[in-house]
Amino acid sequence: MLLENVQLAHIPLTNLLGIIGGIAIFLFGIKIMGNGIERLAGAKLKSILEKLTKNRFLGLLVGTVITGIIQSSNAVSVMTVGFVNAGLMPLDNAVGVIMGANVGTTITGQLIAFNIDMYAPIIAFVGVMAMTFLKKRPWNDILYALTGLGLLFMGMTLMKEHMSVLARVEWFTNLIGSLDGAPILAVLVGTVMTMLLQSVSASVGVLQAMAMSGALGANPLGIAVYLICGQNIGCTTVSVLASIGGTKDAKRTACIHVLFNVFACVICVVLLQLFPGILDLLARISGETNYAQQIANANTFLKIAATLLMFPLSSLLVKLSRLIIRGTDKLEGRRLLHIVGGKDFGSSVTAVASVEKETERMYEIAHENLKKVYAAMTAPRKDDLAGINENEETLDWLNAEISKYLVEINRNGLGESDARSVDRMHHVIVDYERIGDHANNIAGYIELMRSRKLVFSEAAMDEIAPLFLKVLTIVEDAHECMLHPKAHPLSDIAAREQEVDDLVDLYENNHIKRLSAGECSAEVGMFYVEALTDLERISDHALNIAEAGQ
């Protein structure tokens, strides 16, 4: 009775399952093809986005090319949100990448229009069989992407075969008929369609399958073009979801994505209403009966036209996003500032870059605590130890949260370069947390000494103050060595760390001599030796950090 009420009973179960299965295989094909190429490119995508998005025009080109390669505007838009959130890309340049991603995603439709359905099973079979024997990268990643391409076309074939029945279902033909001449309704249907499928490439592919099977009626292009306008709006939900919990600029990036696609939709609808001959021209160029090519070309034309019209106004989009998303970020507190999106990473490149930025934040907090403690020891002033304990608790929390995130990233499968980065960060975050612990220990000794009105002897201060400064410099250089191995040779860091070890041994012996001579008390001496030990441990962790970059 329920099926009869919604009139699905008119669609044979075999066809219904075929349509659903075809969409599933098609979506899976797009996903694994993109994942394979992403794994193959790995850290190169990060480098490209960092180096070649210095201005909006370059960002436009990069967004177009990368999306065309990995076949997913969702992945690129999420990646862009993540990079802005991580501070690797300024908001002003992100707008070009977002626009380019919209253009690049049209490649999938053009591939489908080639109609190589009969070769799809062969492509998928070759990819799967070759992957079984070729485990070594990059060949395994290439074959993974090839398998995805084959599955994409197999899903397309399955959809076409079973969608033909829709042309004979009364309620469906009435629905399609209601969209013809009702552009606003078609836009809304297209928006919902992509929100459900979570892929504009897949949505366009479904339209092509429907058109080729006759399910879109006698005027498929006239209906499909407005559905495509809506699909472009629907795809923005992914970047909006990715920005939740991110920085203000990450939210503004998602806002720009929504604004651009909404304005582009309005422009395209107005143009098509004013110049209906555009569709006739597209149909003639593409082939009067080649509906898949017509839809692919319409998708490409509309997105290029919208980009050409909107790109000169990109500064206004940025300003409008700032008006909508106001305020600045509060960078304090126990929360992840650069990691967004939960377990739905969208891109391993974004995930790794986000964690690297969060790890950089751990260094900054630990470094700040070291400087505060050094200042409190050498130039005491009121409230100079304030915030140190809170920073230490933040470091502990970050260490735990980043560790969890790194485990999740590893489960998603990474390229060789990204896998090395994740392994390095697993070790480095522990070292930064331990440096914070030792800095907090020294702060505690200073606080206890002040409460008991104790001070180090002049001789002890002449030893420990320069040593502290030496350790602080080693930590700074070790961090730089980890990021840029050529900036500070590891051998230099190792030699200076050994020098700290030797000085600690020397100063402990000097302390024993002063204690024997009655020049200091045992209580002060205990704090002195403990502080020396903490400084030695800090230099040990600094060396670990430097070694992690090699």
CA separation for the pair 345, 412 (Å, rounded) = 9
Buried b / exposed e along 360-378 (16+ C-beta atoms within 10 A): ebbbebbbebbebbbebbe
Please write the tens of the pLDDT for every residue from 434-479: 999 999 999 988 898 888 888 888 888 899 999 999 999 999 999 9
DSSP string, 402-462: HHHHHHHHHHT---HHHHHHHHHHHHHHHHHHHHHHHHHHHHHHHHHHHHTT----HHHHH
Beta-carbon-side half-sphere exposure of residue 106 (alpha carbons within 13 Å): 22
Buried b / exposed e along 25-41 (16+ C-beta atoms within 10 A): bbbebbbbbbbbbbbbb
Please write the tens of the pLDDT for every residue from 270-297: 888 888 888 888 888 887 778 888 888 8
Average pLDDT, the chain: 80
**Which residues are CB-contacts of 39 (< 8 A; sequence separation ≥ 6)?**
137, 141, 144, 348, 413, 414, 415
Please, is 550 exposed, middle or buried when counting C-beta atoms within 10 Å of its C-beta (0-12, 13-18, 19+)?
exposed
Residue 72 has what DSSP assignment? -
Q: What pLDDT score was predicted for residue 369? A: 92
- In this structure, the chain runs to a length of 550
Q: What pLDDT score was predicted for residue 439? A: 92
Q: Which has more confidence, 304 or 346?
A: 304
According to DSSP H, which parts of 452-489 are helical? 458-483
Mean pLDDT throughout 331-342? 60
pTM, entire model: 0.66
Q: Which has more confidence, 52 or 454?
A: 454
Please write the tens of the pLDDT for every residue from 207-249: 888 888 777 777 788 888 888 888 888 888 878 877 777 778 8
Which residue segments constitute the domains of the chain, with CATH numbers given? 11-324 (no CATH), 348-548 (1.20.58.220)
Please write the tens of the pLDDT for every residue from 113-170: 776 667 778 877 877 787 777 767 667 777 777 887 788 778 777 777 777 676 666 6
Residue 537 banded pLDDT, cuts 50, 70, 90: very high
CA separation for the pair 284, 289 (Å, rounded) = 9
